[in-house]
Amino acid sequence: MKWLEQRRQQSVFQDLPKEAQDLIAKVRAHFTRADLDILREAYLFAETAHTGQTRASGEPYIRHSLAVADILADLRLDPVTIAAALLHDVAEDTGVTLEQVSERFGAEIAALVDGVTKLGQIEWQSREERQAESLRKMFLAMANDIRIVLIKLADRLHNMRTLQYLPEWKRKRTAQETLDIYAPLAERLGIGQIQGELQDLAFKELHLEAYNEIATQLAQAAATSQLDRVIDLLHRELNRAGIKVERYSITARPKHIHSIWQKMQRPKYAGASVARIY
């Protein structure tokens, strides 16, 4: 029966664009028993609501909704959260009301969409205000469901990935806000992959020369990296200890560019090369 249900869902999803089908397939890989019809309905609803709307890049707005949902699918979030991500801008940027979202998708998804909308309406008057710990706590307190914050973080990450299409003043403001608020939030939630990318994208916008210098040195250091040799050594030692290779996984990566720059600011690392810190 499970196989038949999957075949039925696959046939139903064939009318969707490839990006939407890929998203649903990614969710299905981690939620094999879930009814994913809600994702199809959420995509079609959002696509209709955003008809005629484009991003600053000129792309159809629905691409942003898909990108935000895809980021959360990579974090293996549940289908309800993914559906809310697809719908996260409909109540703010289209003529759709929260009542309509609730009627179509239920109170849980409507509450997530409402929470994301409210978080997007917070405004800070100064950098000092943005950096205040009390505001970060308020940000989390307003989100009575942690999924709201996760959707907002994914929304900010995709906005940062497409920052180049905005005017300079808005790029600078968005980048600084990202460093002050969103990257620390990602750190507090333990989502290192999002934290690091947010920091690097913001740092690139605010300090392009320093970013490029570190990126160049990082590429040179990676060419002579000892990380692979360390991994091979660990594999050999684990095998020698009788630990089966299929029972573990060893990965390594260099530090993010912003993280390297932060370390270079400390007296301990004054004058240190990127290769040493990396």
- φ, ψ of residue 60 to 5 degrees: the values are -55, 140
- Inter-residue contact 155 to 116 (CB < 8 Å): yes
- Catalytic site residue from 93, 108, 145, 187: 93
- Inter-residue contact 82 to 23 (CB < 8 Å): yes
Burial of 210 (0-12, 13-18, 19+ CB in 10 A): middle
- Inter-residue contact 252 to 230 (CB < 8 Å): yes
User: Is 93 considered catalytic here?
Assistant: yes
The span from the CA of 193 to the CA of 200, in Å, is: 11
User: Is 180 considered catalytic here?
Assistant: no
- φ, ψ of residue 54 to 5 degrees: the values are -130, 160
Q: What is the DSSP string of 191-215?
A: -HHHHHHHHHHHHHHH-HHHHHHHH
- Catalytic site residue from 41, 78, 92, 177: 92
Catalytic residue ranges: 92-93
